[in-house]
Every structure is written in C-alpha cells, then in structure tokens.
Amino acid sequence: MSSALIDATPVPVGTDRLGSTPFTRRKRLPTTAALLLLASIVVSFLAASSAPTPLYAFYQAEWGFSPITTTVVFGVYAVAVLVALLTIGKLSDHLGRRPVLLVSIAVQALSMIVFATADSVTALLIARVVQGLSTGAAVGAVGAGMLDLDRERGTLANAVAPGTGTATGALVSALVVQYLPSPAHLIYLILLGVFALQAVGVLLLPETVTPKAGALASLVPEILIPPAVRGAVSTAAPVLFAVWALAGFYGSLGPALVRRLSGSSSAVYGGLSLFVLAGVAALSVLLLRRTGAQAVMGLGILALIVGVGLTVIAISVSSTALFFLGTGVAGVGFGSGFQGGIRTVLPRTAPHERSGVLSVLYLVSYLGLGVPAVLGGYLVVNAGGLLDTAREYGLAVIVLALLAAVGLARGRLRRAPGAVDGDSGDSVYSGDSGDAGDARSSAA
C-alpha cells in the first residue's frame, strides 16, 4: 500500500484525496473561510454547553431539585466529554476531519432537540450526556483541522474560540430567557438552526487528512503523549486544570451566587458572571497573542490568584461590584492560562498527532471543569451552604494555581541552558513556515 494512503498528513488546501471530482473541488471553501467556519463550530458548541446556565434557576423552580442536582447536570456533561475524548478523540486522524465533524454536528443538533423537549431532570441529564459526547468528538477534529489549514492562525483560534463560545452562550441564553417567550425552548431552537447551517458549511470544507488504517483501534481508550511534547504537556496540564476548575465554578454555582449577592432574580445576572469571565478571557487571548507562551501562563496564574482572591473577599463582604471586578481579573487568568498552555504544546505537535494531543489537553481541561464543580454541589447541600462552599471553592482554585506555578517553575528549570521563550512554542508567531516548525517539533 502506498505511504500516501497510510499517513494522516495535511494535504494542500483546495485538493481532496477522497475521490472528489474537479467540479466539487472547485466548490471547496478557501482557507480563510474554512478557518472561520471551524472556529465558529467551536464557538457554537461551547455556546451550547453554557446555554443552560441561566436556565438552571428556571428548571429548579419547575422541577424542584436541589443545588447538587444542578452541579450533577453540569458535571455529567464534563464526564461525557471525557469519555468521548478518550475513545473518539483521535478518530479524525484516521477517518478525516470532515466525516467526524458532520456526525458530531448531527449529534449536537439531536441534543438541542432533547433540551427543547425536556420535561424532567432525567431528560436534562440525557441531553447533557448526548451534548458532551458530541463535543468531545468534535473538539479534537476541529482544533486539528484549524492547525492543518493555517498553523499560526489555527493556534490562535484554538485559544480564543472556547472563551468566545462560552461567553456568547451564557449571555445570549440569559437575554433570551429574560426577554423572549418560551425560555426553555427558544435558545435551543436557535442553536439547532446554527448547527444546520454549519453542517452545510462542513460539506464544503477541504479535507486536510488522508484516511488511514487503525480507526477501530483508535477507539480503545488510551492517553498517548508523543515524546516530543511530553515536557510541554507536563508544564501546561496543571495550568489548564486550574483555569477550567474556575470555569466550572462559574458555570455551576455562579448564577445562584450572583442572585444571592445582588438580591436579583434576573436571568441576565445569572448569565453575566460566566459571560464576564469567558469574555475577558477571550479578549486577553487576543491582546496577549504575541507575548511569550511561558510569560502568558505566568501572568495567567497570577491573575487567577488575584481575581479569585477578590471574589472570595466579595463573597465575605457581600459586594456585587467587587465580585464582578474579581471575575474580570480572574478572566484574564482564565484566558492567559489556557492560551499559554495551548501555545506551549501545539507548535511542537506533528500533523498526524494533532487531534490526539488536543484531546489530551481537553481531557485535562474537562477534568478541571467537572470534578471540582460536582464536589462543590455536594458541599452546598451537605456542608456549609452556598456562600461557605463558594469561599472554599475559591481557596481551592488558588491552591491549584499555586501548584501550577510550581509546575511552571519546574518546567523552566528543565529547559535546556540558553533556551528562549520561543522554544516553548512561541515560534508559531514568528512567521516561520509550518513545515519548518513541524521539522523542529519532530527533532525536539
């Protein structure tokens, strides 16, 4: 068998090795449009994941469940994502990006239908599981696809799109719930329409991977980190866990906490805390995109500690203004920590390993997102209540950030003498060609 048929390497944009005719190839999207489409899929999937956040109070009032049920509904999504990352995360390296994305979008659309028709906690849990499975299947494929198309812009898009999606979903959902009819249905129907349009766009995407054998074997759960990126992953992983633990706090307990501090039952307030956190995170990614990856991670850890410290003080003194100020500072930590981790690892990753490595990074992130949030919900019900749990959760995030700082410092000590910050992945912004960068990665 020809080696061209067994290597999952990127192919030139505008060509297609999957048997397309010259006519269909002319119909493929150009690089910039394809990159924007892929970034929009990340945005819409993460927006869909945060869309239920402002609705938790509505569901709780309708169905009479406790705060721990809210965090279980939140956490089961993270568990489903983890399962998908462990099993389906590398599938697009074998089947191609486009088929995996089409199926993922179809399953995500199915979850929107389940959400829109949900009439019980059981239905809500089913919707979150289906949603999590589709998201876990998609994130590796779409992230790797963006890198295949454009290494520099793809790395940036991988860092900025999750925060943009989370912020958009939280705020738009809150506005729909507050001001438009059928709050428990309309937001999901809107997202369903978005996914339908994106599916059409995916049909026009250029396929950047040649199918290769081993698709079934890739479904066996394993965490495989290529030797060239193991050091970078060990440096980035503690930071990713810490920043996503913060996102889990705002996604699960944030709406109830804001209502308690502000005395308002407005759904907009409920979604505003997550919007501020994720929106500032996305903005910080753009503003700091040319700062060294190691420096960005260090800034992220510092901002995380300061921002969460301010929110803990705000909870103690019942200050809504201070809480949102701390949330904004913590958002800088979220965005900087996440993009620093992504930029430290991805430029060292070989093309045929991108989907798998991205899945590992998201695996760490979603562990941070889900596990602490579920523990927090348990403590709200069985320990000191909402405010005490929020303070304890905040202190735990600060401890995680400090541990991440230790890991970052140790990673710097392990670097070769004379290394510069660009050795950790910043060369992606220096104008080097993708081929040269990949050669450096393979030789690392």
pLDDT, tens only, 230-250 = 888 888 888 889 888 888 888
Instruction: Give residue 199's domain range.
Output: 28-209+227-414+423-431
Q: What is the rounded CA–CA span in Å between residue 62 and residue 279? A: 30
pLDDT at 239: 84
Does residue 22 carry a pLDDT above 80?
no
pLDDT value of position 374: 76
Q: Specify the DSSP class assigned to residue 227.
A: G
In this prediction, residue 436 carries a pLDDT of 33
Q: Does the structure show a pLDDT above 80 at 268?
A: yes
- CA neighbor of 125 nearest in space, from 186, 167, 65, 183: 65
pLDDT at 391 over 80: yes
CATH code at position 143: 1.20.1250.20
* Long-range interactions of 129-133: CB distance < 8 A, separation 24+: 129/76, 129/77, 129/80, 130/80, 131/48, 131/49, 131/77, 131/80, 132/76, 132/77, 132/78, 132/79, 132/80, 132/81, 132/83, 132/84, 133/80, 133/81, 133/83, 133/84, 133/88, 133/107
Give a yes or no: residue 82 inside a domain.
Answer: yes
Q: How far is CA 434 from CA 105, 139, 394, 424, in A?
A: 29, 21, 40, 16
- Assess whether pLDDT exceeds 70 at residue 299: yes
62: confidence class by pLDDT, cuts 50, 70, 90 = confident
pLDDT band per the 50, 70, 90 thresholds, residue 113? very high
Q: Pick the residue with more confidence: 418 or 390? A: 390
Residue 72: pLDDT band by 50, 70, 90 thresholds? Answer: confident
At residue 215 the predicted structure's pLDDT band, cuts being 50, 70 and 90, is confident
Give the tokens for residue 139: 């994130």
| Percentage of the chain lying above the pLDDT 90 cut | 22
In a domain, 219, yes or no: no
**Which of 253-257, 327-331, 426-430 is least confident?**
426-430
Residue 13: pLDDT above 50? no
417 or 70, which is more confident = 70
Give DSSP secondary structure letters for 372-421: HHHHHHHHHHHSS-HHHHHHHHHHHHHHHHHHHHHHHHHHHHHSPTT--G
Mean pLDDT across 297-323: 92
Query: Which parts of 253-266 fold into alpha helices (H)?
Result: 254-262
Which residues, listed in sequence order, are joined to residue 10 by a DSSP beta bridge?
Answer: 209
User: Bigger pLDDT: 410 or 424?
Assistant: 410
- The fraction of the chain above a pLDDT of 70, given in percent, is 86
- Whether 310 shows a pLDDT value over 80: the answer reads yes
The answer as to whether 117 is a domain residue is: yes
221 or 195: whose pLDDT is higher? Answer: 195
Tokens linked to 185: 């249905």
pLDDT at position 413 is 61
Burial of 259 (0-12, 13-18, 19+ CB in 10 A): middle
Q: Per-residue pLDDT for 373 more than 90?
A: no
Instruction: Note the pLDDT of residue 193.
Output: 95
What is the reported pLDDT for 8? 45
pLDDT at 442: 31
Q: What is the pLDDT of residues 150-181, one digit of tens each?
A: 888 887 887 788 888 888 888 888 888 888 88
Q: pLDDT value at position 105?
A: 96
Is 16 part of a structural domain of the chain? no
Question: Coil, strand or helix: which one is 10?
Answer: strand
pLDDT greater at residue 65 or residue 311? 311
Question: Residue 117: what pLDDT?
Answer: 93
Q: Is residue 349 part of a domain?
A: yes
In a domain, 5, yes or no: no
Q: Is residue 21 part of a domain?
A: no
Q: Which residues contact 97 (CB under 8 A, 6 or more apart)?
A: 141, 142, 144, 145, 148, 205, 207, 208, 209
How does the average pLDDT of the chain come out, rounded?
A: 80
Using CA atoms, how far apart are residues 53 and 270, in angstroms rounded to an integer? 8
Question: Is residue 368 over pLDDT 70?
Answer: yes
Whether residue 305 has pLDDT greater than 90: yes
pLDDT at res. 353 = 77
pLDDT score for 107: 96
Q: Pick from 306, 312, 348: which is nearest to 330 by CA? A: 306
Measured in residues, the chain has a length of: 444
**Gap between the Cα atoms of 430 and 177, Å rounded:** 45
**Is position 88 within any domain?**
yes
How many domains does the chain fold into? 1
- CA 1 – CA 399 distance, rounded (Å): 53
Say which amino acid occupies 281: A
Q: What confidence score (pLDDT) does residue 411 get?
A: 67
